Amino acid sequence: MGLALTSLLPLVAIASLSLAFFYNRRAAGNKVPPSILGWPLIGETVGFALSVHRGEPEKFINDRMNKYKSEVFKTSLMGEKMAVFCGTARHIFLFANESKILTSWWPSSATKICLFPLDQDVKDTLKLDPFHRNPFLPKFLKPEALQQYVGVMDSMAKQHLESKWAPHKQVIVFPLKKNFTLALASRLFMSARESRIGREE
């Protein structure tokens, strides 16, 4: 029994050292950007939202760049893991390799809002030919659609300025801007008139 344990001990030691060496070598070869992904599902969304609310969203990015000492880092926002590329060199890398080693990706929330057609045929087409992405853009982003919306946007802006700004010597801009943006988006995307979405305060 003692002889069996004595001969088994070196085998276990060699196996554990081999596994440790293999794991360390594999981890060293895998160059993943540094990250703290935050809470499950929430990620770092709360921290990002707070920095946006304070009017300094760039602070969220700068804090992580300083913390990781890197212009590339991973984070998790709105339930999606993502890599953040900062700086001119990183942006050039992204645009130069867009269809070669990188693929386009949209969060599921954006695809639901913008109604992107993301079936397998479209994904394959986008990978093969990045210059044919334009037909897959949402209709409201095309120049022809924007030309149709200019008249509506202009008339709504004039009406808004005449009714909400002109009668007053002093206005609080943020709530007026927020209400106008909601009314304009509702009119353009859902054809909802102001009376149907509620009068602006």
pLDDT tens-digit map of 17-49: 565 555 555 554 556 666 677 766 677 888 888
Is 125 inside a domain boundary?
yes
Is 129 inside a domain boundary?
yes
Six-digit token string for 120: 């397998």
Quick check: 163 pLDDT over 80?
yes
If DSSP codes are grouped into helix, strand and coil, which group holds residue 42?
coil
> Do 124 and 180 share a domain, yes or no?
no
38 with 76: CB under 8 angstroms?
yes
Query: Which helix (H) or strand (E) element contains residue 72?
Result: strand 72-77
Quick check: 10 pLDDT over 70?
no
Residue 200 pLDDT: 45
> Do 44 and 70 share a domain, yes or no?
yes
pLDDT tens-digit map of 55-84: 888 888 888 888 888 888 888 887 788 888
> Do 128 and 150 share a domain, yes or no?
no
pLDDT tens-digit map of 117-127: 555 544 554 44
Q: Which residues contact 89 (CB under 8 A, 6 or more apart)?
A: 71
Quick check: 158 pLDDT over 60?
yes
> Do 26 and 92 share a domain, yes or no?
yes
pLDDT bucket at 201, cuts 50 / 70 / 90: very low
Residue 136 pLDDT: 47
Q: How far is CA 26 from CA 13, 22, 32, 118, 171, in A?
A: 20, 6, 12, 34, 61
| Chain centroid to CA 53 | 17
Segments forming the whole domain that contains residue 108 = 104-137
pLDDT bucket at 130, cuts 50 / 70 / 90: very low
Quick check: 91 pLDDT over 50?
yes
Quick check: 152 pLDDT over 80?
yes
Q: How far is CA 145 from CA 49, 139, 174, 181, 185, in A?
A: 32, 7, 28, 18, 14
For residue 130, count other CB atoms closer than 10 A to its CB: 13
Place of tokens 């808004």: 160
Residue 2 pLDDT: 60
Quick check: 8 pLDDT over 60?
yes
Instruction: Tell me how many domains the chain contains.
Output: 3
> Do 145 and 119 share a domain, yes or no?
no
pLDDT bucket at 105, cuts 50 / 70 / 90: low
Residue 22 pLDDT: 53
CA 101/CA 94 separation, integer angstroms: 9
The rounded percent of the chain whose pLDDT value lies above 90 is 4
